Structure 1
Amino acid sequence: MYPLKNKGQYLETILNITNQKYINEQICVVTKIPININLINISNKTITNATFKDNFNCDYIGVYKSIYFEFDAKETSKDNFNFNAIRKNQQLKLDLVENQKGLAFIILYFSSYDDFYLLTYKQIKDYIQNYKKTIPRDWILKNGIELFLTSSLKLDYVKHFNHLISQID
């Protein structure tokens, strides 16, 4: 188990390593979207005060075999995933990606169990429309795609893309 001191940092570090391997192996192109900030005060070339701007994009964007994909990385120490963890502007962007026949998904890390899952945005939307905004871990285990971390720190999510692409309406 990895503590969530820097919430999201463990998963994002793993994904950054994985994504660099994908680029090096020419499997796909994937980029981490930087966080936008408003600088409020700078003193001696040091930012002393800043606020976050809303970012329309999710954490990562990429292209695989001419298919655009976008996803967000989420961590939880609970036995569920709360849909509200996906900001409204990110929900809108994931909807747009789906509407353009791209892949929209999240990669979720359960820190208490040290396991990873890929959930399509469509799966998430279908669940919350039929049930509630908190998705239990048991449902995710049955319906998500479990991802495994290799000894070389690769969380191979792209190997599932051909299957996911075949399901695009």
Structure 2
Amino acid sequence: MGTWNSRGLRGSTLEDLINHTNESYREKGLALIQKIPTPITPIEIDKQNRHITLAYFDQKSTVDYIGAVQGIPVCFDAKECAASTFPLQNIHPHQMQFMREFERQGGIAFIILSYTARDEIFYLPLAEIEEFWKRMEDGGRKSFTYDEVDKRFRVRGCRDMLVHYLEQIQMDLDGREEADGSKND
């Protein structure tokens, strides 16, 4: 199992790596995940080069990706962090609300977070993000640290799946089933 650095993609953004992975998932019939474009309204257009030179965002975007994995609806956002501390202000309240509503409809919501200085990527289940969010709302830290992230959810690359997050989705699902099973006992 190699890392994405060994594949000559050093410097690629997290979204580029995820897009490549999602294409591999699609080709293999494992998942169908689409990048959601941010809606914009052009203000100025360079007619000669046919480029938008000035625009504004139409509305608050929800998450970066949405789709299905083996019949399970998924949505997630991709975030990058250069430091060991991730500010929760980088996750907007409307994004949290969308992810909560998505899960109420039977889907799985999460964040893929890259600690760029460490070359490590993690899958953060919504339940984990909710804990950090509640702590902030209760007057606690407005961030969480690398040390607080569940290391079992580290995402690794595998062949042409550079951010191979399907195993972490399965771990998330297994954890939910265990939690539901213990509630029913």
TM-score category of the 2 structures, normalised to the smaller one: 0.7 to 0.9
Q: CA deviation at 1:48?
A: 2.1
3-state secondary structure, aligned to 1:160:
helix
TM-score w.r.t. length of structure 1 = 0.86
Larger radius of gyration: 2
Tell me: CA distance 1:157–1:11, structure 2 relative to 1, closer, same or farther (3 Å). Answer: same
Partner residue, 1:35: 38
Question: Does the 8 A contact of 1:109 with 1:115 survive in 2?
Answer: yes
Which portions of structure 1, spanning 4 or more consecutive aligned residues, are displaced by more than 6 angstroms?
none
Q: Equivalent residue for 2:147?
A: 138
2:81, 2:100 → 1: CA distance?
23
Do 1:118 and 1:144's aligned partners in 2 also have CA atoms closer than 8 Å? no
Query: Which runs of 5 or more residues in structure 2 are unaligned?
Result: 6-10, 181-185
Stretch moving more, 49-58 or 18-27: 49-58
Question: Which has the larger helix fraction?
Answer: 2
For residues 71-102 of structure 1, the C-alpha deviation after alignment (integer angstroms, 9 at most, x for no partner) is 00000101111111112221111111121221
Q: Report the CA distance shift for 1:153/1:99 in structure 2 as closer, same or farther (over 3 A).
A: closer
Q: Which residue of 2 aligns with 1:103?
A: 108
Identity of aligned residues (%): 28
2:164 to 156, 160, 168: 156
Residue in 2 aligned with 1:82? Answer: 87
Q: CA RMSD in A?
A: 2.1
- The partner residue of 2:21 within 14, 18, 30 is 18
Matching residue of 1:47: 52
Give the whole-Å Cα distance in 2 for the aligned partners of 1:40 and 1:125.
37
1:92 aligned counterpart, secondary structure? helix
Counterpart of 1:114 in structure 2 is 119
Per the alignment, residue 78 of structure 2 pairs with 73
- Counterparts in 2 of 1:152 and 1:28: CA distance versus 1, 3 Å: closer
Q: How many residues align?
A: 162
Cα separation, 2, equivalents of 1:80 and 1:88: 19
How many Å separate the matches in 1 of 2:88 and 2:142? Answer: 5
Q: Work out the CA distance in 1 between the residues paired with 2:142 and 2:103.
A: 20
Q: TM-score, normalised by structure 2?
A: 0.79
Distance 1:163 1:148 in 2: 14
2-side partners of 1:153 and 1:66: how far apart?
20
Cα distance in 2 for partners of 1:94, 1:144 equals: 22
Q: The residue matched to 1:155 in structure 2 has which SS? A: strand
The CA deviation at 1:163 is 2.8
Structure 1 residues without counterparts, runs of 5 or longer: 3-7
